[in-house]
Amino acid sequence: MKRLVWILTAALCLAACGGKEPVTPDPVETALSLNPTTLSFTEEDSSTKLVTVTSSSAWNVTASAGWIHVSPASGNGNASLSVKVDANAAEGARTGSITVSAGTGSGSVSVTQAGAGKVEVVPSPAAFDGTKRSSTTYQLLIYSFADSDGDGVGDFKGIRNHLDYLDELGVTALWLSPAHPTNSYHAYDVNDYAALNPLYGTEADFKALIDAAHAKGIKIYMDFVLNHSGTGTEWFQSVKADPKNSPYRDYYVLSNGEYPAEAIGGMGGWVSLGDGNIGYKGRLHFKVDWTGSTKYVTVTETTEAAQPSNGSGAKRWIHIGSAGSVGLYETSANIFEITLDVDTDWGFLVRTSNTSWDGGTKYGGKAGQNVITLGKAFPLDNTTAADIVFGESTSYYASFDSSMPDLNYGKPDECENSRAFKSTVDAATKWVNLGVDGFRLDAVVWIYAASATANVKFLDKWYKAVNATYKAAGHSDDIFMVGEAWYGGHGEEQKYYGGLPSNFEFDYWRYALQPAVNSGKGSEYVTKVMGYISDHSGNRKDALNAITSFFMTNHDKSSVKSKQVGENWYSYYRAADDLGRALVKEKQACAMLLTTAGKPFVYQGEELGYWRDDTQHDDEYLRAPIVWDASASQVARKGVNNKVDNSMLKGSISVETQLADENSLLNTYKTWSRLRNTYPALAEGEMTNANLSGTSIASWYMSSGSQKLLVIHNVASSQKEVKVSDSMSKPVALLGSAQIKDQTLILGANSSVVFQL
């Protein structure tokens, strides 16, 4: 029986196998399910979504795209999957999937994500047709711009050699610093209005510069000083030699001459010509009486012992000769006295402060009434505060310092009859006939000592006299003149449009552009700028249009920053300093200036990001020479008395280096200047408020004829979204970054954009 079972088993095995491998039974099917099977995300969705896995065995997860992130990637049995996605910056939606595999089973989850719907703003400006229309003026310091002959002083040929640079910068005019003979580097003490400084070149060199500039569509404006001359003029030298009999004595404001009351006052003072015994040598007793509304000083000769200066508790001081300030002793209430050995060749003053001359702390004599009589009480004055002298002398009035005597134009209503008026007009006529296109008029506020009414009468007559020459030379337009009416802020400056077609708006940088870029006050910018322009137009009464001249800083403009050193305050800083030397802010300030209505002025070196050394206070440091090449060679250092900041004037800030860097400040100026030259609406259009919402958003329209542009600046340090109802289909300029989603403009930090409508 056992044998039979074995035989049957073997037979069955042979029959079944037939020499082949045994058959493996079918595996048991895996149970797997996923819930949910679809997931949807928004474009910036950072949330985590869950998928439940139900499985009877181990499983693995794969994602179809790198923007889908799943955790965990594997497991065993039931579990939950965490699903996240990256933000979708693309305009359109995107889809993907998650696949879970387990044994014989698998399942998938569909993943969709909405598109950002954002279109990147890519500017496409119109081609520049070669016609300059921007009205942008470049303020150029002849002595420190470019040196052509290696003597260290800038000159006319140096400017001509770099006209291509200025042309590519897009400027339409150059304001040249005073070009006349002078005793100083800055040249505001003019010694001959009808001549040129030989350090700068010859008259032929100047004419060649004018002609070459005109060939490139660049006008030339001369800096002209009407308030005062230098002491080297033929006029002043004659007066100094013989004050009483000089044929030029009526050219100056002299203490024993005739001059209008409006010509005296303000910040100036009297300076002796030295033609009389105004000093004193000997022992004197000084008594200052401060008890009444009028203050007095009485000086008597004495043989009493001289006293040392009261150095500890002095409340009043005598400022005298080379001794400087000497402290007085308070001998009774508000009575101050001292006995001194005196040796002074100019006289003395009384002071209420030993550290400051400001705020009326200097007391002297009234204009033309400054000779003291020994033993007699002398009334003190802190308005004119002329030097108190001991004898008769001729003094001249100087609004600035002794090197710049004020010119005398007589009474404002008759100023055109004065010889100083005729002489300055004759000199200007010479330069107009040589080809000069306009003038920047220095210190116009002080011609009649801050009397706007008198100054406007004078300027109106002087402008019309020179404009008549300009017209006679064959010009169809009117000559350009811009005044430096720097006194009393916008409220005072706007009055000067009664006499001139343009004046510098000194409030623009301090109260409009700088706070907009520095403090994010974009919405206030438009209101202030439009207010300036409106006020100027309202004060221009003839057929000429008022031209608002906007600028950041210049060669002596007080910046927002200031610093006290000893008894002096210094505000000699540049725009880059006020902006913390932040390149993004400097670029945006450029874009805002060049998209604003009016006439923009760019100061030498501003386009390169020049700053000034905070430890140096001479104003030469504010007038730094241009560094042309990366080797920093041939820089006009001598033109500013070699007072330069070597830490700044390196090859890294040079024109050559910045031209090679498409992201440089210089190339930003070139881009936005070209835009202004390309679009008439920017160059000469009317500015109206676009009123887009947001404190940090400055927005306005510029319109000229049928052309209309929308200008938007985000001055915040973060991205902002702005609802815009106008079409944004034609972007023509961009600084920074910008995207559009439907009718929302998404502007990056410190970003600007211009759309053509």
The C-alpha atoms of residue 3 and residue 21 are separated, in whole angstroms, by 26
Residues 331, 358 contacting (CB under 8 angstroms): no
Half-sphere exposure of 53 (CA within 13 A, CB side): 32
SS3 504: strand
Phi, psi angles (nearest 5°) of residue 251: -75, -20
- 147 tagged catalytic: no
User: Of 484, 505, 535, 578, which is the active-site residue?
Assistant: 484
Tokens 């004659």 found at: 238
- 726 tagged catalytic: no
Give the number of other Cβ atoms within 10 Å of residue 442's Cβ: 18
Residues 715, 750 contacting (CB under 8 angstroms): yes
- What does DSSP say about strands 395-398 and 378-379: parallel, antiparallel, or unpaired? unpaired
CA proximity to 243, closest of 262, 251, 346, 183: 251
The C-alpha atoms of residue 363 and residue 454 are separated, in whole angstroms, by 27
Residues 387, 349 contacting (CB under 8 angstroms): yes
Residues 412, 448 contacting (CB under 8 angstroms): yes
How far the first Cα of the chain sits from its last, in Å, is 109
CA proximity to 740, closest of 755, 695, 86, 717: 755
Phi, psi angles (nearest 5°) of residue 534: -65, -45
Give the number of other Cβ atoms within 10 Å of residue 641's Cβ: 13
Examine residue 680 and say whether the peptide bond preceding it is cis (omega within 30 degrees of 0): no
Tokens 């569909």 found at: 110
Q: Supply 727's token pair.
A: 């079409």
Tokens 């003190």 found at: 380
The C-alpha atoms of residue 723 and residue 738 are separated, in whole angstroms, by 13
The C-alpha atoms of residue 577 and residue 559 are separated, in whole angstroms, by 9
- What does DSSP say about strands 502-504 and 547-551: parallel, antiparallel, or unpaired? parallel
Please calculate the CA angle 89-92-98 and round it to the nearest 5 degrees: 85
Sorted by sequence, the CB contacts under 8 Å of residue 191 that are 6+ apart come out as 180, 181, 182, 183, 229, 230, 231, 232, 233
User: Of 381, 442, 505, 607, which is the active-site residue?
Assistant: 442
Residues 526, 598 contacting (CB under 8 angstroms): no
Half-sphere exposure of 285 (CA within 13 A, CB side): 11
Q: Supply 206's token pair.
A: 């100047």
Rg of the chain over Cα atoms, rounded to whole angstroms, equals: 39
The C-alpha atoms of residue 403 and residue 143 are separated, in whole angstroms, by 20
Positions marked active-site: 442, 484
